[in-house]
Amino acid sequence: MSQNIQLSEQPSTKKKMIILAVIVGVTLLLAAVIWGNPPQSKRFKPSKASQMTVATKLLAPQYYQVIVESFGTVKPRTESILFSQVSGQINDVSMQFRDGGFFEKGDVLVQLDDRDHKSDVKVSQANLLSANQVLLEEQARVSQAQTDWQRLGNGKTASALVLRQPQLEAAKAKVLSAQAQLDKAELSLERTKIIAPYAGRILKKQVGLGQVVSANTQLATIFAVDYVEIRLPIKNKDLSLINLPEEYRDIGEQGNKNDVKLTSDLMGHQEWHGKIVRTESAIDEQSQQLYVVAQINRPYDATTSNGAPIKIGQYVTAEIQGRALTSALVIPSSAIYQGSYVYTVEKGLLMRKEITLGWQNGKQAIVKSGLVAGDVLVLTSLGQVSSGTPVSIEGQPREINQKKSNKKRRGKSKENRENIVRKKGAKQTEGESL
């Protein structure tokens, strides 16, 4: 019984060995095929065809008017506070005595009750008449004293007291005092009318009709309207590009009163034209910048204002006319990267160039070094690109080399496919022979 079991197990073991040998053989065969046919990558030489199209500008020296930008707030030329110099009740005000009202020099803005002051004038006039009467009487006495002394003096010199000189001088003093009192009363009467000292505008009023005011009561804040001023800071790098007006002790004012355009978007687009009239004498301690003062003449005339008139305290931006450069390389500020380099096109390749700027604003820049006339500046905004990248110029046909390169690449692809087919056929023949 046991012998039969051993005989049956021998064929099973033999069968397993055969299967194992077949598996090992197939595995070795596959390894040999893979080893003999490594994968081939479809690699080509770097393409010389343009990878992007860029807009460019051919650089050439040009005439350029430098415009220096600044900003500031509008201030009045003269700002004053009207005070009452006498007391009284306000019984009349001008129609223009209101916030924002215009007035001319000499206009009566406020009228105080003047009846008390008129009475004071009359009293002073009466006192003056009395003093004049006393003076006339004293002059008559002096004349009589001189006549009497000539008749009774026996040729001697009369004293001042005999000739009533002290009494005469006292009478004259009373006349002068009465005249001064009259002048003061008339001045007080005149001051019951608050008169505009110049052509201006009411900034803010503090009193109204019927109010009783005393001396030194603040009535209103006013400002002159003949012109307004704007204090403008100038960047240190821009100072050499402006010929500023300067005042010298020995030769007076030198320099130019440059034109300046001032704009604001407070109430739509507003625009005014003025001039730089003076340069301040000191550098501002906080900003460490020099300030100039721009002036707009007659800013509240309809012909001057573009839209609504300018407002005191309004923020404006300024464009100051600077020097005129006859031969400058001007490029857009948008073409400059990190403030230090640009891209140009040379023989179809993108080239990076380091530059030094002589001046720059928000839109344009003047190149001091790094570029020359004839360079082709790239205007298109670029991302991460490397120098030497092939490019084509916008508006010009692409190079024929790109077509040739594409044709060669297609030919190489076809050749590679044919090689792969041939290798596959050889592998199949080799498998059949095995």
Specify the fold of 50-61+329-414: 2.40.420
- How confident is the model at residue 144, as a pLDDT? 87
pLDDT at 250: 81
Tokens matching residue 124: 């002073």
How confident is the model at residue 78, as a pLDDT? Answer: 92
What tokens does 287 get? 């900003």
pLDDT given for residue 39 in this prediction: 64
Pairing verdict, β 376-378 and 56-58: antiparallel
Highest mean pLDDT among 102-116, 139-153, 419-433: 102-116
Say whether pLDDT at 110 is over 90.
Answer: yes
How would residue 422 be classed by pLDDT, with cut points 50, 70 and 90?
Answer: low
User: What is the DSSP secondary-structure string of 340-394?
Assistant: TEEEEEETTEEEEEE-EEEEE-SSEEEEEES--TT-EEE-S---S--TT-B-EET
Per-residue confidence (pLDDT) for residue 432, from 0 to 100: 38
97, 220 contact by CB (below 8 A): yes
Burial of 419 (0-12, 13-18, 19+ CB in 10 A): exposed
Domain covering 69-76+226-325, topology: Elongation Factor Tu (Ef-tu); domain 3 (2.40.30)
User: Residue 6 pLDDT > 50, yes or no?
Assistant: no
307, pLDDT greater than 90 = no
Residue 76: name the closest of 221, 196, 225 by CA.
225
- What's the pLDDT score for residue 133? 94
Question: What is the pLDDT confidence band of residue 134, given thresholds at 50, 70 and 90?
Answer: very high
Indicate the domain borders of the chain. Answer: 1-39, 50-61+329-414, 69-76+226-325, 86-223
C-alpha distance from residue 122 to each of 184, 301, 344 (Å): 12, 46, 93
pLDDT at 38: 66
Between CA 357 and CA 330 the distance in angstroms is 10
Q: Is the pTM of the predicted complex or chain greater than 0.75?
A: no
The DSSP H or E segment spanning 194 is strand 193-195
Integer distance in angstroms from the first to the last C-alpha of the chain?
45
For position 201, what pLDDT does the model report? 94
Q: Which strand (E) or helix (H) includes residue 147?
A: helix 115-152
Per-residue pLDDT averaged across 306-317, rounded? 87
What pLDDT was estimated at residue 296?
93
Burial of 182 by CB count in 10 Å (0-12 exposed, 13-18 middle, 19+ buried)? buried
**Of 47-56, 94-103, 134-143, 237-246, minimum mean pLDDT range:** 47-56
Least confident of 329-333, 355-359, 428-432: 428-432
Of 433 and 185, the structure prediction assigns the larger pLDDT to: 185
Summarised one tens digit per residue, pLDDT across range 69-86 is 999 999 999 999 999 999
Task: Tell me the DSSP string of 414-432.
Answer: HHHHHHHHHHHHHHHHHHH
Instruction: Provide the pLDDT confidence category of residue 43 given band limits of 50, 70 and 90.
Output: low
> Which residues fall within 8 angstroms of residue 312, CB to CB, at 6 or more apart?
74, 75, 76, 203, 223, 228
Tell me the fold of 86-223. OB fold (Dihydrolipoamide Acetyltransferase, E2P) (2.40.50)
CA-CA distance, 316 to 329, in Å (whole number)? 30
Say what the pLDDT of residue 45 is. Answer: 55
Give how far Cα 16 sits from Cα of 4, 24, 26, 152, Å.
20, 12, 16, 185
The answer to whether 378 touches 332, Cβ cutoff 8 Å, is no
Give the closest residue to 164 by CA, choosing from 145, 185, 188. Answer: 145
- Output the pLDDT for position 163: 80
Mean of the pLDDT values across residues 89-110?
A: 93
Q: Which of 145-159, 285-299, 412-426 has the lowest average pLDDT?
A: 412-426
| Across 103-111, average pLDDT | 94
Q: Is it the case that residue 11 has pLDDT exceeding 70?
A: no
- The percentage of the chain sitting over the pLDDT mark of 90, rounded to a whole number, equals 44
pLDDT (average), residues 57-80: 92
User: Helix or strand or coil: residue 331?
Assistant: strand
The domains spanning 50-61+329-414 and 69-76+226-325 adopt the same CATH topology: no
Per-residue pLDDT, 94? 92
Higher pLDDT, 247 or 172: 172
Mean pLDDT, to the nearest integer, of 109-137? Answer: 94
Question: Quick one: pLDDT at residue 221?
Answer: 95
In DSSP terms, which residues pair with 290 in a beta bridge? Answer: 234
Q: State the average pLDDT for the chain.
A: 83
> What backbone torsions phi and psi does residue 361 show, to the nearest 5 degrees?
-125, -160
